[in-house]
Each structure stands twice: as C-alpha cells, then as structure tokens.
Chain A
Amino acid sequence: MVKVYRPSNLKEALEIISSEKCTLFAGGTDLMVKGKSWSGLEPSFDRPVVFISDLDELRKIKINEFFLTIGGACTFTRIIDNSQIPDFIKEAFIMIASPGIRNMATIGGNICNSSPAGDCLPLLYAMDASVVLESIYGRREVNIEDFILGPGKNVIGWNEILTEVRIPTKNFKIRAYRKVGTRKSTALSKVSFAGLAEIEGEELKDIRFAFGAVGPTVVRSRRIEKKIVEMVSEKKLEVGEIKKMYGSIIKPIDDQRSTANYRREVCLRFVENFLMSCKWR
C-alpha cells in the first residue's frame, strides 16, 4: 500500500510532489479503473498518491475579454453548470460519460490522462487552449498541442500540477462539435470533432479543425487551415482537395470500437459538411 497525501492547499501539494514522485489524483475516474483490482481490494498504485480534487485554488472558473480560465480540478459538471461559459464549449463536456462520472471527472485529469479519445480535447486544440503547470519553482504555460505527446504521454514534470486551463475567448461565428460514440451515453468516442470558423462579411478570417480518437494525439493542421483561408480568399475553395489533405494526415486504426475506414470517412465528412455550411460560398 502506498502513502496517501491529502494536502489542504496548493502550496502544500506542490511541496509534497517536489520531494517525491507521486501520482496526482483529481477525479480519479481513469486512475481507479486503471488500478482496479479484484472487487474488495483497493486499487493498485505504484507511487504515493496526492488527492488534489478538493483544493480550492484548482476549482475556480474565471472569464474576461481575453481568456476563459478553468481550474484544473473543476469537474465537468462544474463547467456545465457555470453560467459564464459559452454553450458551445460546454457541449464538449455534456457529451462525456454519465452524470455520476461528470460529477467526479475533472478537466485537468482529462487532459493529463492524455488519451487521444479524451472528449474535451478536440475543442481545446481548436480553441488554442493552453495549460498552466505550477511547481514550487514557479509556473509555465504550455499550449495544449505541445503538452500532449501521445497516448498517456505529456510534458508535465513530476513536481508540477496542472492548475489552470486557459482558453482564449475568441469569438467564432460558426462552430461545430460532434462526438460519435459507441452509444448515446456512457460511451467512449469512435471519433470526435471540433470545427470553428470566423467570418467577417464574405471573408474567412480563421478556420480550425481538430479530430479526436483518430491518431495517437488529437489531429490538427494549421497548414491545411491556412490553405483553406487562402483558397477562400481567392474564391477557389476545393473541398475535395481539402478532404484529400486531411485524408493524408488522419490515420486512425481498427479496434474494438470502430474501424479505420469509418473513422477517417466520418472526419472527412465532418470537414465537408462544415465547409459546405459556411456562408462565404
């Protein structure tokens, strides 16, 4: 049995993890499943555990004209119930798991779990979100794309806690979020998709697509996004060509939940639908 810490504030937590390698425990909805033993036995953890879900410093939600800041230990329910957060952001959280799980699972946990099927990730990628990592030595901010390296892999240091998620409060006129799951609730994603576009008059200012569960990390390509903006400004948008470009970078796999063909095709169809729905055409 490992040691368990229940720090009462963030500083205490940071001090604990600066002196030994620990497992940070927020909502625990992934950790408890991963460590699951035979019923009746406590789940197995290979390192000391630090409970951080009740730390007030990690449970705040702030919004100003530039950023929406969500504390790392905010549960999905807390995010969904917050009246200041725009609905299209909430949508990505409403689709996750079930009411009981949403009452436990946290945004920081979901990000640090770094599963390519993490349901809130495509939206965070598309929104250019960043995460704030704090240690006793200070804080640093890392873009979500640079934070996650692969399934279960990210750049967080042993002595760091993901204290905040910062989402630029940029406005997008056209927004789409889709999750294709194995069923309508309590489902894991086969594919998830976020699409955002900002249009002024006839001009496409910005367009972003992110795809989940189709590769080792969420897929987003600024190169293709730029190309779309160029094509639109030259009034030469070739949807087929864009789909081909995405087709070459979206390389999903067959598994127990879906097939590679399906996942790729659905992504490309989401792109096509999104582009067709934009008004500049």
Chain B
Amino acid sequence: MENKIRFTLNFKTVEISASPLKRLLDVLREDFSLTGTKEGCGEGECGACSIIVDGELVNSCLYPVGRVEGKEVLTIEGFRSTPEFEVLRESFEEAGAVQCGFCTPGMIMAAEFLLRKYPHPTEEQIRKGISGNLCRCTGYDMIVKAIKLASERGDGLW
C-alpha cells in the first residue's frame, strides 16, 4: 500500500509516494539520493543514521516514513548549508574528530541536537549527548573536544 506523504525535507516541501512503513533512512538514501545519512546497523544501536525530525534527534533506521507527514526533516545535506554546520565542520577538522568518517554525519547531527539543547555543554553532557553514536576509530576524545570547541567558537549561534 503506497501513500502520498508530504513533509519538509531540508527546508523544502516534498511529497513522495511510498509505503508508510518504509524506513525513512531508505527513503532518504534511495528516493532522494541523500546518501550522507549512513546505515551502520539498522537496529538503532550505532547512530550513523541520525537525523533531526521536528527538532528531535532520531535514528532514521527505526523511523517509518509515514510518521514524517507534516514534519520537518533535517539531514546532513540540509544542515551543511547552515552557519552552525560551518562551525562544527571547522571544529571537527581542527580537533581531529574524523577518521573513517562513517559515523561522522550522524555524529554531527547528534552534536547539533546537543548544542541546541545545551549551547555550552560540559564534558559529561557531551559524552551523554553522543552516547548513541558509535565510533570505532577515534576513542571519542577528539570528538568530545571538537564539540567543546564548536560550542566556544559558535558562541551565540545555538
């Protein structure tokens, strides 16, 4: 059963015909060719597919597209046109927060969600904030430092 589903995707209204149970992750990657959102586990364990829906960080592998009707979806592709992204990109580069990069777009979305909630997070808040995003390369330290750096640099943005 296919339904017409309308929602805002990266600041633009879109409409697609899809089974409402199709994973938003697949809709983004296949129907919209937005491959910046990654699939690392498909079970909500790794966070590589993290996106923001109506201001909330969610795992798009567990989110059926039927639920986004009327909602605002932000993926890395939309976020990367914002000044907040620029600050995060710079900080991630400078702190050495990226190695293989597979977790990174999801990590960036988690960082954005965290900074919206806590513009000046403590180390503990940062560690909690990214605790649903697995990274096997960095051991997390440099990611934590990158987010800290972004919060200082982007003072007033969040």
Contact = CB atoms under 8 A, between A and B. Distances in A.
Interface of A: 1-4, 6, 25, 28-29, 32-33, 36, 39-40, 42-43, 45, 49, 51, 53-54, 77, 97-101, 103-104, 184-186
A2 B21 CA distance: 9
Contacts of A4: 1, 3, 19-21, 66
Contact of B23 (A29, A32, A101, A185): A32
Contacts of B23: 32, 42-43
B67 A101 contact: no
Main secondary structure on A side of the interface with B: loop
B57 A97 contact: no
A51 B44 contact: no
A103 B56 contact: yes
Interface in B15-42: 19-23, 26, 30, 39, 42
A33 B62 CA distance: 7
Contacts of A51: 20, 64, 66-67
A3 B3 CA distance: 10
Contact of A6 (B39, B44, B61, B69): B69
Interface of B: 1, 3, 19-23, 26, 30, 39, 42-45, 47, 50, 56-59, 61-64, 66-67, 69, 110, 113-114, 128-129, 131-134
Nearest to A49: B21
A186 B134 CA distance: 10
Contacts of B30: 40
A43 B65 CA distance: 12
Given A1-B1, A36-B42, A98 B64 contact: no
B131 A101 contact: no
B1 A45 contact: no
Contacts of A98: 44, 47, 131-133
Contacts of B50: 100
A103 B67 CA distance: 14
B39 A104 contact: no
B110 A100 contact: yes
Given A98-B131, A103-B57, A186-B132, A36 B21 contact: no
12 contacts: A4-B1, A39-B39, A42-B64, A53-B67, A77-B56, A98-B44, A99-B110, A100-B50, A101-B132, A104-B62, A104-B63, A185-B132
Nearest to B27: A42
B20 A6 contact: yes
A221 B78 CA distance: 53
Contacts of A103: 56-58
Given A43-B21, A77-B56, A101-B59, A6 B66 contact: yes
A99 B131 contact: yes
B113 A99 contact: yes
A143 B107 CA distance: 41
Given A29-B59, A45-B21, 17 more contacts: A1-B21, A2-B1, A4-B21, A6-B20, A6-B69, A32-B63, A36-B42, A39-B26, A43-B21, A51-B66, A97-B44, A98-B47, A99-B110, A101-B44, A103-B56, A185-B128, A185-B131
A194 B57 CA distance: 29
Contact of A100 (B19, B26, B44, B69): B44
B21 A104 contact: no
A29 B58 CA distance: 10
A185 B126 CA distance: 13
A36 B43 contact: yes
Contacts of A33: 43-44, 62
A100 to B, nearest CB: 5
Contacts of B131: 98-99, 184-186
B132 A40 contact: no
